[in-house]
Amino acid sequence: MPAMSLPRNDLKVRQREIHFKETGSCFDSTDILKIQHRANSTSGQARAGGHESLPRKLADPAAFSLCRRTSKESPRTFLKKGTGTGGTDVRPATANAETKIISKPKTKMVDYQAFAERPNPPNTEFRRFYERGDLPVQIDHGGVTNRIAWKVDIQKLDFHHYLPIFFDGLREVEQPYAFLAEQGVYDMMSSGWQKVLPVIPQLIIPIKTALNTRKKDVIVKVLKVLQVLVVCDTVPEGQHLIGQALVPYYRQILPILNIFIRQNDNLGDGIDYGQQRRENLGELIMETLEYFEIHGGEDAFINIKYLVPTYQSVVIT
């Protein structure tokens, strides 16, 4: 008896389409245009703080040898009547204004690549865990500003697991990830310094990765978090232990601060309306270094001075 052919079922289970490969979630709110541009420029292997997408400036061979690059002469490059200087340095004014050649402003390439922004792909651990529903946080839309509604008591959280994840989300620039990560870090640090102190070694890599992006808004955010971090144990029973625990990791944190320490906004007699938000990068870096020295113990200044030579001590001896 011939085998009966089974009817084709069009309702079979199909694999869910992954829209964004950064997190594997169809609910990811990442801008797809940014992801496609980043994938085309770095072949999908973008790393936070990497140097792959920096603009390259062509090397001048005259700087390394006696050879000089000259332009190719054309048959039309000869002197015409009335165009010479007559042996003087004064050039005669052209009679016809239409013949005056107006040179276009040259587009200046950034010579100092240390200040150029590095790639910041949306592949943070915070985004991945948040979209899987593994983080006990949600936004509380109420009042004047948004707040975080914790689903569990903060004191019951495993800081060794959750605090590095929230610190990794500090380099997020898209909402709601940027707000949740930043506010979550502040809430966990204010809950008790005894649980923050043992996790300091796990926070260095996320802090260094965020600073290596060289994005001004990300660096400002990280500096404000660092200032709160070193003073979160300045309670009557505290002994500035967190500031002392950060001293061995200055080699990972301070090099980026040394690059941007002179990034002050010189407005002359203008008004800087960003002072209230404390967004002046140079002043914020100086404040952070002063916090490090005051709360870092007796070995803090010599380590700061080694990595930031222009820094001057503020502690009166």
Reported as a single tens digit per residue, the pLDDT across 115-140 is 878 878 888 888 888 888 888 888 88
Is pLDDT of 43 > 50?
A: no
Is pLDDT of 111 > 80?
A: no
The reported pLDDT for the residue numbered 238 is 58
Lowest average pLDDT, out of 66-75, 100-109, 200-209, goes to: 100-109
Position 285: which residue type? I
Name the residue range of residue 241's domain: 125-265+273-307
Kindly report the CATH number assigned to the domain that includes residue 279: 1.25.40
Report yes or no: 139 and 146 within 8 Å, Cβ to Cβ.
yes
Is pLDDT of 102 > 60?
A: no
Residue 295 lies in a domain: yes
Match 């978090």 to its residue by tokens. 225
State if pTM tops 0.95.
no
Residue 168 lies in a domain: yes
Question: Averaged over 85-113, what is the pLDDT?
Answer: 57
149: β partners: 138
Residue 79 lies in a domain: no
Q: At what angle do helices 200-212 and 250-259 cross, to 10 degrees?
A: 20
Question: Average pLDDT of the chain?
Answer: 75
Cβ-count burial of 179 within 10 angstroms (0-12 exposed, 13-18 middle, 19+ buried)?
middle
Question: Averaged over 65-83, what is the pLDDT?
Answer: 76
Question: Averaged over 274-297, what is the pLDDT?
Answer: 80
Q: At what angle do helices 281-295 and 216-231 cross, to 10 degrees?
A: 20
Residue 119 lies in a domain: no
- Please report which confidence band the pLDDT of residue 97 belongs to, taking 50, 70 and 90 as the band edges: very low
Number of Cα atoms under 13 Å in the Cβ half of residue 97: 0
Residue 260 lies in a domain: yes
Question: Averaged over 262-272, what is the pLDDT?
Answer: 70
Report yes or no: 127 and 22 within 8 Å, Cβ to Cβ.
yes
Looking at the structure of the chain, the number of domains it has is: 1
- Please report which confidence band the pLDDT of residue 113 belongs to, taking 50, 70 and 90 as the band edges: confident
Q: For 147-171, what is each residue's pLDDT tens digit? A: 888 888 888 888 888 889 989 888 8
Residue 8 lies in a domain: no
Residue 63 lies in a domain: no
Residue 97 lies in a domain: no
